[in-house]
Structure 1
């Protein structure tokens, strides 16, 4: 740990102490847990249960609750129960009162009634594994946050931290039963997420802090601010159940910020309007639901009515499912206009869900109460025209909060959404989270487009005449409104659905999907002009792709016949298809849609949208935003961008297709030709210094020169690795394309150089870091894997070590070989051969000293050769001495300090450890063991050395025999 502990771990604990988390040392923490199988500080928990629940919890009940928490299942379900306990939602039967009473584990209102603690090196053990978390935060004895710290100089620190957390979930899930939040930090960045959800897309950078500078100290103090952290536990962790699958999310900073602003506005009661302008894909629905939950559960004089308004039946159904998944309990759904009128007349208190059209004809002044909050989804559509007027007339004193994901269009400036909801804020909105913000945060990915060949695109004059030049099509914000316009474009639709054109586009789509999308492991939408076109495209695509790869999803009608009726999906079929499409390994791979799934359906695996439906403005923006969700699978496959292939020709004139300000349009989408220009520029300029070394890799000395160049300057190495990752993202999007042909040989060389630097200098496996298309290129253009040093040793043996010593490799080449081999040996064999732990620690110390230039090259090489020889002779020596692995590790440690140490002395010391298995947490056993170690060591080395050796042996990590 060393440098990591001093530069990241200890400062984090220090900063936490400054804001009220008191430190508990690791040994004391282990003791209070009752050993490494314990989950919490039982003494603190029971004391706090009695203190926070006077008259309800006594010693016996406190012990009963602690037992319940100790037995929670080590799963996401157990974690949900733990959060319910933390939030005071669980109850016990109180015989004296003959009723259930909720039990408080945390006082969310009075901060100082809680005990906030932080500890480090938290070991968790079960029958198979032992893992150790870097830092644990606890409230009232219960662990609530787990932190992994990595060295600031470690390039892949954050990734390694996430991988460790995944391993904890997999091997020691008991560690994650109660903690609700995790943090991964390497000093420069602090990333947070929800336990039981280690998807990289659910890991967020805590970047907005209180203060002028975003220092590590400020980030720690801001994130772990005790009052803020209690709010996160109480309000911003959400379990969702969808399709019988339980998942967990934590709100992002912009969502938390919006919730706080809306709740504050409602509670202050001075202003009664507000607009939340958060871009598509930024989680508006969960923001709305959290606001509703906060308002409904807040202590206040009178319970409010919260009305959630949507503008379409599909969105109403989706919202109701989200409410159920969120666990908000019962919500009244206005089934009709009369039903809505009755709900308002009855002065119902609670949550109401309705569509905007049900306010048509609603009686003015239906409910003049002030404690009504109306949350309007997709406000740019819902409150347009007379319906918005009738809504506000019916509830004249309500507070109205609008939510929109699309920016204001040029045609509506000064009116519409921003005028209705933003009138009380100088900027026109209460909170904003822009497209550029979301891309920078990784909340969404940037979009690229390409125009299909001109022969496949719609006739431009017909498109202009029947759609783009129509006044009613300008600023269109509703897909049904769009469909009505297109229904009148008879000639345009006939041309688009001509059999020859449909077949040609289907053939082109199939070829493009197979060459561009499928190799990346992603999926696609084909957006057709209407329901009939969905059916035509399904039949056409079936001629070029496997039938089970393709499904058409559209709304059926009782008037349908032929294929429209035959291919229509039942509700159960559609539900299954929607669910399976989200999974990489499941079919279908392409969905053909025209209206359904273009709003409210989040499919991160969706990369490509084949657009063959005239759209514009808000409707177009919503449709193309389907492909802007980030994605990363367990194998490291990352979605670099979202991609739209335009068969209509809308993007031929972007200013007509998206009537927004130019800076907004540029942040939304860019022509893939720009990526090609960027790729060419990088290859011609930034790549050149690296190509000088990459091209020479196959030469006997080229490999060594390259490693010396990147080993010599760590910043140079990091700059190259960053550059290649960015270049690889471009290649993944562009390939295959004839444009790349002049660059392929050099790009391949750079990929091989990247693999070598990561493998041989950073000791990191590279398979997951190279994208599918890059790996395919390497396989197709070379007969071997990435180059290896001439005369390199792939496995340690006495003969091969001698051959390496005698080889023509430079001293640096030999060092790199030995360091890599020792690292791999320790990683794979240390569990069975504990003495390797010490060898690995000493090898890393040599590496640190050498990279810091504190030792010369020859001295470093000598040290590595000694360590390699120690390893090679160790197995033979252990067998000769007849020692078990733990006793041999002790013997090796003794021999380094006392030349005359004997195997029998090591066996006796190992036996002492075996007689005191709980010494790590039981102070009595630890004291007895230490005394026994002193007794055994004193005759060997004297008093002074016996004390230090005993302490070192106590710290030595013991590993079970295989």
Structure 2
């Protein structure tokens, strides 16, 4: 008779033991804590398993004059000394980046062959031959705190599980029980990881970490060194089948592996585990899926090599699953050849706010390192200056453009220069606005038959239609064309028709479920205009005394069509007062908002009434706003040469922008919008900054503008970026767009179901 294992909810049984067994099934070798301590010379302040690293380095060979040679012991000692001395005096992130570069590119050593000095670069990890590496893990990995002064328990930390590649601790896992009394236990594990990275804790362990996991038996999330708690991510596996997962989960451990795993434990632990296995097939939990997906040796090395970035603004970034699988799918697609010899392309549909720009940088890095595609050149096409600047900055801060010179060489300053870059240049990465690209493709020198060109078109549906698309194809007949979009055009699947099929999709609904973006909270707040409408009607009746009822009704309809009713001062004043009230009552001081209105004239009126409403508040509650719009047409609306009679829009522009270049002004205001020291908290916009504007502090969009289709989805996504102080992105609707919003979301859900 089989005795069923009784459920146990301590973290040891619910989370840690299942994780240890699963890691063993994934190909990792368990080191009991005493052996792991011995491998680091018995020193709690040492985190690299020096014995393991030394054994791996002894297997390394370098080539000189066609012959292979082993490393000298001196070189091995120097390599170990280098890797065991993280530069924490420069900060944890800087130390982590230096270690990462050593892992990725190797370390140079000095050797002498037949009396001749050579300087080979030695790989710490064999990226090509995964089996030529050591994968070990241990539990209760005791580490001395850097701020500790004694040998007490308080002077040490014990991460639950640490995984080592060639003796280097690349993964730290915190395992928690599933029924914590203090709230979500996964969050508790994340908090513990963040605490342990502080300067007076155990940062010398995290100087090496590439993946950090928090698990609780049922689910888990992951991050990397320095990842704020809000940005720890969920994972959904797209390559392993359910059958694959069940096989991995239920593979029986050999007696030798069980002895190794439980030899240092109490017999009751092994008895419990064996009765659990004997009870029948075990189901796969969310924790299991996370471990299988990220910590199989092959996937871990992929994540470290291809899907990790250091960004100058954000810090260290590890890709989310949609970025990983989108790129992997795309790489396989690009490797495919058409009958003509050209490369295949397609559409990546990742909802706005889910990291599309970073996906393009991850792709660039993957192409550079990928053996089959590293010879390819990349042309990045955007349709707006601010988006081009954002993407080039992302590539630069992500390390794909190493210097100002690289960035300068990459930028297409004119259509003719771009034509030369495409036709005869050798720049690894080229950036161009679509207007310059369209100009270039009309020039005879802009012709390249190479199949080693990959054209990445951001939001390509907005500009690559008709003749432009034909010219693009003629100039680069064998290139792979890839469109990245957060909102594909819905009409006849237009984006897909121009660039090929949608090869990977990540929808807004899925992003909200994964907590990749902030959920949006919609509220309709149509202003109560009863009193004002009676006053307006009385005035209207006075000036239309001689008109028939039919003529009056017709005149009202004409006003409504032209939008005058929506621009009525009384209405705008009421909404402005409501906006101020909502903003002050609902937004944290660190968060900002946008007001989208239908015309420049409305924008100026809103600015006036917002300022009047704010003047009535205590100074501590006031906030600053400004208008972002294109320059007014000074030829219209003039009634006098007197400056006091200038049209309102022109006067506002003259008083607030003056002779400053509009692009410079906009950039300066956007920088203040993101600034914590000199905050500009509300941007009043007409058409600008409703697409491609990514500011995490942006938390509310007040809508007094008709929006439809993909333009509506783009606009509402301005407030879905993650921010530590932001629980929701607010959509406050003064125009009654709910029906249009429902219809549009339904259409995108239908497209997703067909993708």
The normalised TM-score by structure 2 is 0.75
Structure (1/2) with the larger helix percentage: 1
Shift of 1:594: 3.1
Q: Are positions 1:37 and 2:45 aligned together?
A: yes
Q: Are positions 1:618 and 2:710 aligned together?
A: yes
In structure 1, the residue matched to 2:303 is 232
Where do 5+ consecutive residues of structure 1 fail to align? 423-427, 460-488, 668-962
In structure 2, the residue matched to 1:648 is 735
In structure 2, the residue matched to 1:172 is 202
Distance in 1, matches of 2:239 and 2:188, equals 25
Contact 2:597 2:704 in 1 (8 A): yes
In structure 2, the residue matched to 1:73 is 87
In structure 1, the residue matched to 2:173 is 147
Q: Are positions 1:46 and 2:54 aligned together?
A: yes
Distance in 1, matches of 2:430 and 2:112, equals 37
Picking from 19, 23, 39, the partner of 2:30 is: 23
Which structure has the larger Rg over C-alpha atoms?
A: 1
In structure 1, the residue matched to 2:135 is 116
Shift of 1:604: 3.2
Contact 1:527 1:611 in 2 (8 A): yes
Tell me, what secondary structure is at the counterpart of 1:71?
A: coil
Contact 2:367 2:374 in 1 (8 A): no
In structure 1, the residue matched to 2:293 is 222
Shift of 1:86: 0.9
In structure 1, the residue matched to 2:652 is 563
Tell me, what secondary structure is at the counterpart of 1:543?
A: helix
Shift of 1:153: 3.4
In structure 2, the residue matched to 1:136 is 162
In structure 2, the residue matched to 1:451 is 524
The change in CA–CA distance for 1:100 and 1:353 in structure 2 (over 3 A counts) is: farther
Distance in 1, matches of 2:291 and 2:396, equals 35
Contact 2:465 2:498 in 1 (8 A): no
Structure 1, residues 190-220: CA drift from partner, whole Å, max 9, x if none?
3111121132233324555613264354542
Structure 1, residues 740-793: CA drift from partner, whole Å, max 9, x if none?
xxxxxxxxxxxxxxxxxxxxxxxxxxxxxxxxxxxxxxxxxxxxxxxxxxxxxx
Picking from 201, 211, 214, the partner of 1:181 is: 211
Distance in 2, matches of 1:651 and 1:441, equals 24
Picking from 4, 25, 38, the partner of 2:11 is: 4
Picking from 222, 237, 240, the partner of 1:210 is: 240
Shift of 1:456: 6.4
The change in CA–CA distance for 1:99 and 1:293 in structure 2 (over 3 A counts) is: farther
The change in CA–CA distance for 1:491 and 1:558 in structure 2 (over 3 A counts) is: closer
What pairs with 1:752-763 in structure 2 (closer than 5 Å)? none
In structure 2, the residue matched to 1:511 is 581
Higher relative contact order structure (alpha carbons within 8 Å, sequence separation ≥ 6)? 2
Tell me, what secondary structure is at the counterpart of 1:16?
A: helix
Picking from 587, 591, 598, the partner of 2:690 is: 598
Shift of 1:495: 5.2
Contact 1:209 1:218 in 2 (8 A): no
Q: Are positions 1:88 and 2:175 aligned together?
A: no
Distance in 2, matches of 1:203 and 1:507, equals 39
Alignment RMSD, CA only?
3.4
Distance in 1, matches of 2:456 and 2:226, equals 30
Where do 5+ consecutive residues of structure 2 fail to align? 1-7, 63-68, 149-154, 247-283, 534-558, 635-649
Picking from 408, 414, 417, the partner of 1:336 is: 414
In structure 2, the residue matched to 1:811 is none
The change in CA–CA distance for 1:77 and 1:534 in structure 2 (over 3 A counts) is: farther
The change in CA–CA distance for 1:11 and 1:651 in structure 2 (over 3 A counts) is: closer
Q: Are positions 1:366 and 2:453 aligned together?
A: no
Distance in 1, matches of 2:374 and 2:484, equals 25
Shift of 1:95: 8.0
In structure 2, the residue matched to 1:127 is 147
Contact 2:169 2:208 in 1 (8 A): yes
Tell me, what secondary structure is at the counterpart of 1:234?
A: helix
The change in CA–CA distance for 1:165 and 1:580 in structure 2 (over 3 A counts) is: farther
The change in CA–CA distance for 1:616 and 1:294 in structure 2 (over 3 A counts) is: same
Shift of 1:269: 2.5
Q: Are positions 1:403 and 2:484 aligned together?
A: yes
Distance in 2, matches of 1:4 and 1:198, equals 24
Contact 1:359 1:387 in 2 (8 A): no
Structure 1, residues 67-116: CA drift from partner, whole Å, max 9, x if none?
23333233111111111111125545668877865331101100111111
Contact 1:584 1:605 in 2 (8 A): no
In structure 1, the residue matched to 2:395 is 323
